[in-house]
A and B are shown apart, each in its own frame.
Chain A
């Protein structure tokens, strides 16, 4: 067995590109590698050279490119094949830490990897820390974010999934140098008990739009009706943003679940987050708390949302939004 060292990032791909979460993860991995004074390796299931180069520009010291993946990538997430790729890289590198995104792929692959490596999986972390004696610890929100745990383990390697929007991607530095190493993995899907039949993706979906929006207008229970959400959508459109919703409004069928922002909905971090008739429950804030500027309109001055807001108006939104629209149309 090799001496364990360094951090390994599992780089998830989306439509042949690096999604933001992978860039965020490389940034988290860079920080950990610097603390330890050890290398950061990215593992990529893509043979495209520009992806490997981008990983290096974004902080990786080297990139393990899994060979023989073209057909697998075209198919989508195959648990056993992805696990075999992770296993192959871990056997060759023996990393101290394995970072994965807390995405649908990451949160299925991570427990598989942890079981295979006989270690623990820290699920849904927001921050990775290091103590004075160089122990890595993780910050995990529990109970929907009402309590925050700082946890550690004696197991190695640490398998950690990191939530979206918790780290800022590094500015790409195209002068950074790094090794790109091909790694052959013997894939054989015939023995796998789980077969992927079909992948269904919503084109230009609502969730995708929310995730990348710079401005979001979100309504809560205070919006009161489906008609109310039509007004909010108009406001969102006029400022060049997207509409969102709390879980409470979705549960009342005023708007579809795709619009839901929060811990179990889409996680967003726009420049402007306009929260209308929304109380600001902690589960909701877990999905939008990283927004640069939050503005709240609510009739209840005690609503928690005002604690997060930079600007607030205590009034009925139905009286505030029409003059806002009028003003914006001029």
Chain B
């Protein structure tokens, strides 16, 4: 059982974001982490591998600095980590990323199961998973909260409005994972220390036989402008001598407006 996980390193989703004068997102000062849902996907892969004597390979397209995140994947329990390294990786469109990841999966493959997060925690396009499935010509299903593997058949639970659906499918398959069930494990100090000694296989776009100049045609969208949403504060603060008085005043105001 060979499982691949597609993982993107992202700036801290809880950080503060600014736009520079060119409308570019300034996230230089933020720490970088594995994408939230991608880490759920890695946890799912590790659990399935543990139950089925499988092995897990993580693929990431990122910059040189991603090495710390890649080591975290080892500490969690990945068998191998492959970083396709490019300094411009943050600016590539999902179409480019999907092509690059697909070529690396072909080179290291075949894999029985490929898992990715439901969407990246930064741009949230949710496209890389489906596009990789298309490149590899395998079926996919999104928003998966649980996976069971028995005799080369998958039984998967998928989020649905007001509940979930249970699907069955064969292998190979690509699934995108949600955050409900596969809560990422905290690696022990020992595992973190051991991970520091592990080799991270680094490749370049050229190592995959991809001609950089051909990538330009894969940009399908343009961003016309960006903004940081501004909220106008016009809160009427309720004051009073006692908190009980303030509470009564609030109830009066709300009932006066027919809200309660």
Compute how far the CA of A141 lies from the CA of B228 in the bound complex, rounded to whole angstroms: 10
Contact pattern, B 106-141, Cβ under 8 Å of A = 1, otherwise 0: 000000000000010111111100110010000101
A232 to B198, CA, bound (A): 50
The answer to whether B221 and A198 have CB atoms under 8 Å apart is no
- Contact across chains for A137 and B166 when beta carbons are under 8 A apart: no
- Beyond A104-B158, A123-B125, A327-B247, whether A148 also contacts B229 by CB under 8 A is yes
Interface size on B, residues (CB 8 A): 67
B243–A147 CB distance below 8 A: no
B260:A239 contact, CB within 8 angstroms? yes
C-alpha spacing A215/B126, complex, angstroms = 33
Residue pair A108, B141 in contact (C-beta under 8 Å): yes
Q: Indicate if the CB atoms of B119 and A199 lie closer than 8 Å.
A: no
B126 touches A107 (CB 8 A): yes
Contacts of B238 in A (CB 8 A): 311-313
| Contacting residues, chain A, for B155 (C-beta < 8 A) | 197
The answer, among B123, B165, B173, for a CB contact under 8 Å with A199, is B165
Is A295's CB under 8 angstroms from B250's CB?
yes
- A124 interfacial contact with B, CB 8 Å: yes
The minimal Cβ–Cβ distance linking A244 to chain B, given in whole angstroms, is: 16
Contact residue range for chain A? 35 or more
B190 to A: closest C-beta gap in Å: 26
Q: List chain B residues, Cβ under 8 A from A314.
A: 237
Which A residues, 296 to 330, have Cβ-Cβ distances below 8 Å to chain B? 296, 301, 304, 306-316, 319-321, 323-324, 327-328
The residue on A at minimum CB distance from B245 is A323
Of chain A, the residue at the smallest CB distance from B155 is A197
B220 close to chain A: CB less than 8 A: yes
Q: Answer whether A293 and B259 are a contact pair too, CB < 8 Å, given A149-B223, A194-B139, A197-B167.
A: yes
B contact face: mostly helix, strand, loop, or mixed: mixed
Residue in contact with A148 in the complex, picked from B119, B121, B227, CB distance below 8 Å: B227
B143 to chain A: which residues have CB within 8 Å?
Answer: 104, 107-108
Given the known interface contacts A149-B223, A197-B168, the answer about A142 and B122 at a Cβ–Cβ threshold of 8 Å is yes
- Which secondary structure dominates chain A's binding surface? mixed
For the complex, what is the distance from the CA of A68 to the CA of B124, rounded to whole Å?
Answer: 35
Check: A207 CB closer than 8 A to any chain B CB: yes
Q: What CA separation (Å) do A271 and B257 show in the bound complex?
A: 11
> Contacts A123-B127, A144-B13; is A193 near B166 (CB within 8 Å)?
no
Cross-chain contact of B247 among A108, A145, A304, A320 (Cβ < 8 A): A320
Q: Does the CB pair B119–A208 fall under 8 Å?
A: no
Can you give 12 contacting A-B residue pairs, CB < 8 Å? A76-B165, A104-B158, A142-B124, A149-B225, A153-B222, A196-B166, A199-B164, A202-B162, A283-B13, A295-B250, A306-B235, A312-B235
Interface residues, chain A, CB within 8 Å of chain B? 14, 19, 76-77, 79, 103-105, 107-108, 111-112, 114-115, 119-124, 137, 140-155, 193-202, 205, 207-208, 215, 239, 257, 264, 271-272, 282-283, 293, 295-296, 301, 304, 306-316, 319-321, 323-324, 327-328
